Amino acid sequence: MAARLIAAVMIAEEMEREGRQNLVIIRRRLRDSMNPFDIAEEEFIRLYRLPHEGARRLIEAISPHLQQPRRRTRIPKSIRILCCLNFCASGSYQRRIGQDYLNCMSQTEVCKSICVVTRAISNLLLNEWIKFPTTDRERNRIKRRFMEKSNLPGVIGALDGTHIAIVPPNTAREHIYLNRKHFHSKNVQVVCDYDLRILALNAQHGGRSHDSHVWRTSRLREYMRTTYWLGGSSSWLIGDSGYPQEPWLMTPVHDPPEGSPEARYNAAIILARNCVERCIGVWKGWFRCLRRDRTLHYSPEKAGQIINCCAVLHNMALYYRVPLPQAILEEDINGQRNDNFYIIPAEDGSTIRRRLIAQHFR
């Protein structure tokens, strides 16, 4: 009796093993028979958020840096990259991504592809596609756009924060990712120009951190401060009233009288800041894995790489003029004011703001 039971178990295991091997072969044949680049441009953009040309450029840029297994059923690098793009665009579960007729991959391979490709894009392309303006020519171009659209001079970028939901991390520091709305997230600092192009990104902080804390500890603030003291006193970022007023960061005046120069200044800064809200909305509209209802089921570190990857893809999509999606508008978790924020020497910032109002909004 025992021998029969053992034999039956061995037969079942052998059949299961053969079934897995056959499934791998079937997936390979399906992949070999399908070429994602054969589908129409419109459908390709819907699946991957890039046109054929942009996807080919991306594949050429990172393929040499991806390891390729030597096994006979190995998955082509191009399929791995497109699988990752499909995940970023849809935010679907890994098993669902693998079952797509253009991918034909197991859940395990989808997971590997997402991790490898997002890391490669984050490490190799982030500095190429996410660039803060450092030359007079770049700054003047951005200033002109803001001036044309909002009548606010000197602006080289709009600043805001957004929360990207993640699963509760299995770490002793889990509490730093729990935000005020009682879900776990990363608080991502975004700076963009008026044309919605992301100029700077900081995805290192947990959801518990306020926007102002993320800004105060950022390398970008240190760069702006250094530039100011070296003579760059005619350029600044703009933020909402949750940020401190600084010489290099203009914020609204609190509760100005109606019809006053300060009120006109506030109207201009609100109009100018609208671009960063639209940028974040379009970003999450293109890449649904960033939406709150598509929580990232990854560690905070891997989630940060996915966020960086999606920022690169966002700028690439703008470069290739991909039609803008319907923007995703989400609740401001941090709120507008932060009166308990540690104020750095604010006299200079307030003086510059008063001079700006006196010169341009009288």
Query: Element (H or E) spanning 129, and its range?
Result: helix 126-129
pLDDT at 339 over 80: no
Domain boundaries, the chain: 15-124, 128-360
Mean pLDDT on 289-307: 93
Contact 76, 31 (CB under 8 A): yes
| Distances, alpha carbon 107 to alpha carbons 80, 139, 250, 319, in Å | 12, 45, 47, 32
pLDDT confidence band for 342 (50 / 70 / 90):
very low
pLDDT above 70 for 167: yes
Q: What is the pLDDT of residue 30?
A: 46
Q: pLDDT-based confidence at 16, cuts 50/70/90?
A: low
What are the structure tokens assigned to 81, written together? 């990259």
Residue 260: Cβ within 10 Å count: 14
For 72-115, how does the pLDDT look when each residue is reduced to its tens digit (9 = 90+)? 556 888 889 998 999 999 887 655 554 454 556 778 888 888 99
pLDDT at 64 over 60: yes
Q: Which residue has the higher pLDDT, 223 or 111?
A: 223
Render pLDDT for 253-282 as a digit per residue (tens, 0 to 9). Answer: 999 999 999 999 999 999 999 999 999 999
Residues 248 and 225 sit within 8 Å (Cβ to Cβ)? yes
Span 115-131, average pLDDT: 95
Count CB-CB contacts under 10 A for residue 226: 11
- Categorize the per-residue pLDDT at 335 as very low, low, confident or very high, splitting at 50, 70 and 90: low
Q: What percent of the chain has pLDDT over 70?
A: 81
CA distances from 192 to 122, 133, 187, 359 (A): 18, 10, 16, 25
Decide if 191 contacts 157 (C-beta within 8 A). Answer: yes
pLDDT-based confidence at residue 31 (cuts at 50, 70, 90): very low
